[in-house]
A and B are shown apart, each in its own frame.
Chain A
């Protein structure tokens, strides 16, 4: 089971859109896929038209009182399931702090799904917290959508340093990619052109598009209703690249 987390310390960088589209593409290629919405804003849950409600709340889910399996919902797409988020997830960090080995919690919960899914996508909330550390431990790769601005690149460096500090984060691979790239902006053009600075940077960039923003209106992945469009095509290339880079 391959675990891929969409993560960035910053918000509004295209994490949820990327998670929804990549998970959709993984499932379409025949892989049994789960998307776990870990963000209390529950945007991914909303996009897939699922009620933002987990019986017993996030705390009980983390504690393992309730089987994670029974909270999973099927989406409208074959092979793609979703574990919904709800607003109480904002308190998950506090709950996690009271538990034993909090950094291993997510990995431990995912173990119970071994054999049932080929790919698990984690859509994380923007922040660095106990919960995100638990995500780092559980994941094979952190897919980091990054807007090509100076500040975003600075935050990427910050993440690198944080991950380098602890031995338990060594396993996770960091794969940033440029997202919401607006070719009308000079800065975006310059930064994406100068991609040689980071070896781990994925080659595919996702262009800015109002079609992606409309996902919240259509409540569906952009690849499902506008497969011909530039962002959808970019997501296909991105998924092919990730699939190659992170061995299943």
Chain B
């Protein structure tokens, strides 16, 4: 397509005015004042930014905004015109390829306004002998602020953008040459999004990660290292609290719960290094936190899964699930209200305050059990080895006739092992531990699906009873549910049949040997 636009930065407004004047003296131009407004969007966990993308809206007449999306500096071929209140979940946008591509990037997350830009600009059009525009220049002084705030815009460096007009490459080169050789401007562009994002409530782009990587020194003492880990998990819990309480999207609660579960696992796995009575109240209270957040998460999962389940039905029956969706939504709203109340309660605040004091406290020499002084590298070997042993033993005891309960227990053990490996990941060669985590993951997927199929059958079965068959719509819904239940039962049986092979792979000589080599002497 020929030339692409070039951007230059200028020291200050006065310098920019001089540049515009110089262009006017050299070329035939026509100018007009314009302004530009933009709101950049991203998800709470910066999914678009992480993929090197930018998504922004610009107001257009008629009360709508135009949504633009750029990935790796290349614009998405089509723009989307939407009412600004429809920018949120991917499924709220008008259907089409734009929405589908965006949905695969952001999935279930909601788009949040991250940066607001306002720029006063001067559009300068370079004209040819027919007074036809052959090059466009935009000289502007932009400012950024947090969207919706009333504060003044923070000014950014003024910039000049030169845009080619198709079929007029020579003129574009002539103007660029003039700017670079004669006016000696520097190519460059201020990244409005990156500069503006920290002004909002979400920190630097990329500052939030649901699985923080925690750098650990192998020689650190065990309890010191564990506190480091627990502090990072606490940060995840706290940064997701507000979004969970407000139900911005389902992922806040998910990340919140995972961080709580990891915390509890970490405490269970490392009992030996803490003074005995210190943990008792936390164990109880963290378990409460797990319980009050459970029902909402389960309902979130059903609601997220429902479209996929519906898609497995013949097209004519899909609409029949509508009463079911409404029932689930009502339940979710009720559970969410309870959850929000719990997160605003004194009990929650007290727990967080005392937990923070605990993870930030220096080690009290008097109470430290001897294991607390073990170097973390050796201690981690021991913890992982123990969890690994338990998985192997429990798994080996499962035969084709074992009840679902046995697989359920093994699933929990696998989770524990997974958490242990991920908590201490930084202590091991990335390739080795990565491969072992993948091996475990394959087993976990089997156990997880088996469990999900069971739980979903139970839940949908219960709903079928509740919907009843009082009218035609609910009868149709119950019939559709019946079909779903058949599919789920089949899926469950398939996973059960696949278990033996997955476990055999995980407990193979080769994989066990890899664990032993990574963990050294601890894995006897």
Q: Which residues of A contact B (CB under 8 A)?
A: 29-30, 32, 48-51, 69, 71-74, 76, 81, 115, 118, 219
* Contact for B81 among A29, A69, A71, CB less than 8 A: A29
* Contact for A73 among B81, B125, B166, CB less than 8 A: B166
B96 and chain A: residue at smallest CB distance: A248
Instruction: Please tell me if the beta carbons of A73 and B77 are within 8 angstroms of each other in the complex.
Output: no
Q: CB of B215 within 8 A of chain A?
A: no
Instruction: Please tell me if the beta carbons of A118 and B78 are within 8 angstroms of each other in the complex.
Output: yes
Smallest beta-carbon distance A51→chain B, Å? 7
Complex Cα spacing A81 to B167, Å: 9
Asked whether A72 and B78 contact (CB < 8 A) given A30-B66, A49-B130, the answer is: no
* Contact for A115 among B77, B81, B164, B167, CB less than 8 A: B77
A48 and chain B: residue at smallest CB distance: B132
> Would you list 30 pairs from A and B whose C-beta atoms are within 8 A, ordered by A residue?
A29-B81, A30-B60, A30-B78, A30-B79, A30-B80, A30-B81, A32-B77, A32-B78, A49-B130, A49-B131, A49-B132, A50-B130, A50-B132, A51-B130, A71-B167, A72-B166, A73-B165, A73-B166, A73-B167, A74-B164, A74-B165, A74-B166, A74-B167, A76-B125, A76-B132, A76-B133, A81-B166, A115-B77, A118-B78, A219-B131
Q: Which residues of A contact B78 (CB under 8 A)?
A: 30, 32, 118
Complex Cα spacing A32 to B78, Å: 8
Interface secondary structure of B, over-half rule: loop
B interface bracket (residues with beta carbon within 8 Å of A): 10 to 19
Interface centre among B80, B81, B132 (most CB of A within 10 A): B132
Instruction: Please tell me if the beta carbons of B79 and A73 are within 8 angstroms of each other in the complex.
Output: no
Asked whether A73 and B130 contact (CB < 8 A) given A30-B81, A32-B77, A118-B78, the answer is: no
Q: CB of B27 within 8 A of chain A?
A: no
Q: Which residues of B contact A81 (CB under 8 A)?
A: 166-167
Complex Cα spacing A74 to B167, Å: 6
Asked whether A73 and B131 contact (CB < 8 A) given A30-B78, A30-B81, A118-B78, the answer is: no
- Residues facing A in B57-81 (CB within 8 A) are 60, 66, 77-81
Instruction: Please tell me if the beta carbons of B168 and A74 are within 8 angstroms of each other in the complex.
Output: yes
Q: Which residues of B contact A76 (CB under 8 A)?
A: 125, 132-133
Smallest beta-carbon distance B163→chain A, Å? 9
Q: Which residues of A contact B80 (CB under 8 A)?
A: 30
Q: Which residues of A contact B133 (CB under 8 A)?
A: 76
Q: Which residues of B contact A219 (CB under 8 A)?
A: 130-131
Interface centre among B60, B80, B165 (most CB of A within 10 A): B165
Q: Which residues of A contact B165 (CB under 8 A)?
A: 73-74
Q: Which residues of A contact B131 (CB under 8 A)?
A: 49, 219
Q: Which residues of B contact A69 (CB under 8 A)?
A: 1
Complex Cα spacing A81 to B1, Å: 12
- Residues facing A in B119-164 (CB within 8 A) are 125, 130-133, 164
- Residues facing A in B157-188 (CB within 8 A) are 164-168
Q: Which residues of B contact A30 (CB under 8 A)?
A: 60, 66, 78-81
B2 and chain A: residue at smallest CB distance: A70
Q: Flag B173-207 by CB within 8 Å of A: 1 or 0 each.
A: 00000000000000000000000000000000000
